A and B are shown apart, each in its own frame.
Chain A
Amino acid sequence: GALVYQYPRRTICKSGTSMRMECQAVGFQATSVAWYRQSPQKTFELIALSTVNSAIKYEQNFTQEKFPISHPNLSFSSMTVLNAYLEDRGLYLCGAVGDNERLFFGHGTKLSVL
């Protein structure tokens, strides 16, 4: 079956440092990968949508300079949170689009910032 592995599951970083999270699609080809953030007590905000062979589209309030994304092939994507501060904490989810246009999510990376 189709699965999305996301790691790390949890991470803690010092304020001003950076952390990278990775997303692996297994059993299907992830032509598009969407990265979302769920801040405490909030719903999911789309950070950016990455489609293979197309430019990565960032949503308002999110930039490549802050959240650089790599999507080198149909099974892997990574995103880095640069210079993380308290407002960047939350649950980061990658969603990969597979067959039937269903969005398969990983378990998420919970980011805490000290």
Chain B
Amino acid sequence: TQTVSQSDAHVTVFEGDSVELRCNYSYGGSIYLSWYIQHHGHGLQFLLKYYSGNPVVQGVNGFEAEFSKSDSSFHLRKASVHWSDSAVYFCAVRSNTGNYKYVFGAGTRLKVIA
């Protein structure tokens, strides 16, 4: 069974703080990992992805994520958050077998206090 776990349902930080949103997965084989952001009332916007190579990947708006095979993790980080980063963040995983079935985590709601 393929699962994606985002252990924190809610994270609250102050503007300018750093933040890490956690994602752990249970998957066999080669995988493709992504993070998406959902602002209130909207669809999903792509932030970044990892498939192979450098385990630290850079995304839009200063976000980065680090893949760890040993920890089965793909945590999302930002060094200095802005109030506009307040949204729900979803980690998504799929097997890299040509089947584009993505499994999403439950989401982490990030609240940035100005």
- Mark A residues whose CB is within 8 Å of B: 6, 32, 34, 36, 42-44, 46, 49, 51, 91, 93, 95, 97, 100-108, 110
Is B29 among interface residues, defined by CB-CB distance under 8 A? no
**How many interface residues does chain B have, given as a range?**
20 to 34
A44 touches B104 (CB 8 A): yes
Per-residue A-contact encoding for B34-64, CB less than 8 Å = 1, 0 else? 1010000111111001010000000000000
Contact A43 B106 (CB under 8 A): yes
> Would you call B42 and A44 a contact (CB within 8 A)?
no
Bound-state CA distance A104–B104 (Å) is 15
Within 8 Å of chain A (Cβ to Cβ): is B101? yes
B70 interface hit (Cβ, 8 Å): no
* Chain B residues within 8 Å of A, Cβ to Cβ: 32, 34, 36, 41-46, 49, 51, 90, 92, 99-107
Q: B100 contacts which of A34, A93, A106, A108 (Cβ < 8 Å)?
A: A34
Give 28 pairs: A residue, B residue, CB < 8 Å, sorted on A.
Answer: A32-B100, A34-B100, A36-B104, A42-B106, A43-B104, A43-B106, A43-B107, A44-B90, A44-B102, A44-B104, A46-B102, A46-B103, A49-B99, A49-B100, A91-B43, A93-B43, A93-B44, A95-B102, A101-B100, A102-B46, A102-B49, A103-B46, A103-B100, A103-B102, A105-B46, A107-B42, A108-B42, A110-B41
